[in-house]
Amino acid sequence: MTPTKKLPLFVVTGASGVGKSTTCEELFRNEAGKPYLVMESDILWDDYYDTPEDNYRGLRTIWMYLCANISQCGKPVVLCGCATPDQFENLPERDLFTEIHYLAVVCSDEALEDRMKNGRGIDEEDWLRVSYNFNRWLKEHASETNPPITLLDITGKTPAEAAEALENWILSHL
């Protein structure tokens, strides 16, 4: 079934360990009666989709169809997970949405290190390096992507404060 009602899609991205899932989980807990639905993209993750050579096309395609079909209820989806605009914008399924808005949850390097090492118990050097690099890349290049990515720096914010800022951003685009 091809979706007939086109709505915007909201993509919330960020480095592993930065706090995007915690922020989105807080948003999800309070979504009753809100004009959007929150989804976590990791629920469909499988090694089958680990295809950086094609920019994770299979995973992005599945999520775009899923979000477009969910939107048929009249509410846009807020999709939380690590991504960049080119992974969505260059696909034919992009036409299923009126717009796609991107927001990256970022924080200071010190906060990211604390969250990964102390909050999540991650000390694998490769994982830490990739997370630091993506967090920095987002802060340095978000305005250069097409469309640009809005940054939400949650350094020093509680999950509730971060979720409130995220919700304000979403509502400003509806």
Res 109 pLDDT > 90: yes
Higher pLDDT, 161 or 5: 161
- Rounded to 5 degrees, φ, ψ at 97 are -125, 150
- Residue 3 pLDDT greater than 80, yes or no: no
For the domain spanning 7-172, the CATH number is: 3.40.50.300
Give the separation between CA 152 and CA 141, rounded to whole angstroms. Answer: 14
Which is more confident, 136 or 118? 136
Boundaries of every domain in the chain: 7-172
Tokens of 18: 């930065």
Q: Are 34 and 153 in contact (CB under 8 A)?
A: no
Using an 8 Å Cβ cutoff, are 129 and 113 in contact? no
Alpha-helical runs (H) found in 115-153: 125-141
Give exposure, 78-112, as e/b (b: 16+ Cβ within 10 Å): bbbbbbbbebbeeeebeebbeebbbbbbbbeeebb
Specify whether the CB–CB gap between 79 and 12 falls below 8 A: yes
pLDDT tens per residue, range 37-92 = 999 998 888 888 888 999 999 999 999 999 999 999 999 999 999 999 999 999 99
Rounded Cα distance, 101 and 152, in Å? 13
Taken in order 76, 167, 171, 131, the sign of the CA dihedral is negative
* Amino acid of residue 33: G
